[in-house]
Amino acid sequence: MILSQFQSVGHDLFSRGLVCSHSGNLSIRLGENLIITRRGSQFNCLEENDLIETGIDKNNRATPLASVELPVHRAIYQQTSAQAIVHAHPPHAVALSLTETEIIPNAEMLSVIGKVPVLGRGMEVAPGGLADIIARALEGNRVVMVHGHGSFAIGQLLDEAYSFTAEFEASCQVSCLLKSLKVDSARD
């Protein structure tokens, strides 16, 4: 059951171009533990050995195999009520994060996820970095962007966090198209 959830969301993220072959990561909370995708796993063909169970607050034998973003996932679970996290690299959202300090989705998505803050501008962002900043931002947001890197979305289920990610990227794609046409979306 858990594997099939990860496979479904992973496949959808990959097929929609929201992650590349070895980018992004997924996790769910299981009490005091979390299950996170393995470092370097391929989202389009996740297998049982691609899911790593480790502690939210402590390491175990499997911890070194976990995604390099494990510190961010741990901080989010420690500081929020999230039950699932999707970290993706949606290209249009990443592009907007290079020029914006916050991304305002279209009206429909704005009512669902709100304004999306862009974090880490002017900072060196390494994998697993900005963990506390990202977690604090997710206390009041469903999605945040890391400048030039990617998005973190939270939900009660992986499907919900995926939905926020996919809809946010669709909104960013429209924004990018409007910018390329030099159309002000506010006047429509």
Residue written as token pair 């290079």? 98
| Residue 135 to residue 35: CA distance in whole angstroms | 18
Domains present along the chain, CATH in parentheses: 2-187 (3.40.225.10)
Q: Report, as an integer, the average pLDDT of 107-121.
A: 91
* pLDDT at residue 7 is higher than 70: yes
State whether residue 111 is helix, strand or coil: helix
What number of other Cβ atoms are within 10 A of residue 4's Cβ? 9
Residues 77-87 have pLDDT tens digits of 999 999 999 99
Strand order of the β-sheet with 51-55 is 51-55, 33-37, 25-30, 84-88, 150-155, 143-146, 116-119, 102-103
What does the longest C-alpha to C-alpha distance in the chain come to? 56
State whether residue 140 is helix, strand or coil: coil
Question: How does DSSP classify residue 187?
Answer: G
Query: What was the pLDDT predicted at 185?
Result: 57
Query: What was the pLDDT predicted at 22?
Result: 81
Residues 65-108 have pLDDT tens digits of 999 999 999 999 999 999 999 999 999 999 999 999 999 998 88
| Cβ pair 87, 24 in contact under 8 A | yes
Query: What was the pLDDT predicted at 163?
Result: 97
> CA 133, 15, 93, 68: dihedral to nearest 10 degrees?
20
| Residue 91 to residue 74: CA distance in whole angstroms | 25
| Residue 137 to residue 17: CA distance in whole angstroms | 25
Query: What was the pLDDT predicted at 187?
Result: 47
Query: What was the pLDDT predicted at 184?
Result: 64
* pTM, full prediction: 0.94
